[in-house]
Amino acid sequence: MWIPHNLLSPLKAETPKPTIQASEAAKDERVFVVGFFLRNPVTRTAETDILVSARDGHRQVILDGKECTIDDCANASGKLEEIVYTFSSTGAVAALSACYGNLVARLDRLALQYGRGIEISGWRVADIDHGARWRCVPFRPSALLAEAGLESVPAAYGEILRLYRESRCTTSAAWRFICAGAIVDAAVAGRSPFTARLKGYDDPVITTDLLVRSSVFAFQPELNGATLGEFASGIEPKRKALLAGLLGQKGSEAEGSIGARGYQSDAAFAALANLVDLVARDVVLASLREGGHFAVAADIEDKIPENSGPV
């Protein structure tokens, strides 16, 4: 079963509905606490390789023109595991957005300074006045039973499968978009191993189900009903611009950037990367099925219906 790779999802309430509603209805500026959980991308443990300094672990900064307190929190080993912001704002999402922008810029600097990877693995938000709390943590899917599925996959699919695995394993939405988008582009162009157009190429393939599963429905519902060709033509310029930007290239290829960094823009982009991932996986499976290489047990949830087209 394909699972979303999007951490930037809507906040989930942790307190009773009346407290959440009271907080959302309030328009006054008040104190919010926003904590970001961090993770080591190599060990996948909920800590970083940075020790918390008693001298630098608590500081005051100006954020959006207002005073903000930032606390670096350590685990039992003294390693940084959470960064907590105390900040005045008019709502949970507004507070989260402001703190998120400050945090990602700091993590960029820390990665360069120490040469160590640091990921955001989740966050929590609290409205102190109303006692309302929200949380966003990584989705932990249940384990899957090993099933016979793909049999005798031709060697020509080797690079495509490797590319898809790398796109699935990365925690970077940008790299997932680039890798999975390359698969979609190859399928549309008919490059090896996609030697011909898939059946259903001109049929609508972006369904409501795909938009909901990827979280794109909240950002780009107009994609519903797009064909594979239409979808590919929409994402390929963005993929080339993103790749050019990451490589430091200038000029026409780097134009049409994805957008400014921030909570809302990153959330929309991560969701789009999810959708590209979904489509890339489905076109590869559809191509294998058409070549007679896709054998799957009848009870596997992700089986592609015989008359479904490429997605």
Q: How confident is the model at residue 287 (pLDDT cuts 50, 70, 90)?
A: confident
Q: Mean pLDDT score of the chain, rounded to an integer?
A: 82
* Full-model pTM: 0.75
More confident residue, 150 or 25: 25
Q: What angle do CA 227, 163, 114 make, to 5 degrees?
A: 120
Contacts of 146 (CB under 8 A, 6+ apart): none
- Residue 204 pLDDT > 70: yes
Contacts of 233 (CB under 8 A, 6+ apart): none
Indicate the SS3 state at residue 177.
helix
> How many Å from the N-terminal Cα to the C-terminal Cα in the chain?
14
- Residue 208 pLDDT > 70: yes
pLDDT in tens, 132-188: 999 987 666 666 666 656 667 888 899 999 999 988 888 888 889 999 999 999 998
pLDDT in tens, 99-118: 999 999 999 999 989 999 99
Sign of the CA dihedral 189, 190, 193, 194? positive
Amino acid present at 53: S
